[in-house]
């Protein structure tokens, strides 16, 4: 299981959704275990949006929300704030 450290205010100003902490999951299958580990890794971020190919999303921009884009094989393709 991933071990997370508390994000500092400076870290969150640069990377408001802690996407840099989620990049290590790129290429992993989005299993329940991986989703739980990613959620812990990006703490204190509470909003993680998992987006499958072709899935509709809202256009509202939330810099504190982590978007996790999945590929057709349910693998994590990319991560970013929004």
pLDDT of residue 8: 55
pLDDT in tens, 26-81: 999 999 999 999 999 999 999 999 999 999 998 899 999 999 999 999 999 999 99
- 45 burial via Cβ count (<10 Å: 0-12, 13-18, 19+): buried
pTM given for the model: 0.83
pLDDT of residue 14: 81
Question: With left for phi above 0 and alpha for psi between -120 and 50, is residue 42 left, alpha or beta?
Answer: alpha
For 24, phi then psi, to 5°, come to -65, -15
Go through the domains of the chain in sequence order and give each one's CATH number.
9-81 (3.30.10.10)
């Amino acid at each position: 299981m991933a071990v997370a450290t508390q994000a500092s205010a400076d870290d969150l100003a640069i990377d408001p959704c802690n996407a840099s902490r989620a990049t290590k999951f790129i290429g992993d299958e989005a299993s329940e275990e991986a989703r739980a580990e990613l959620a812990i890794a990006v703490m204190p971020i509470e909003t993680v949006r998992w987006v499958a190919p072709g899935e509709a999303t809202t256009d509202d921009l939330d810099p504190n929300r982590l978007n996790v884009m999945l590929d057709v094989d349910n693998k994590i393709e990319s991560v970013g704030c929004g």
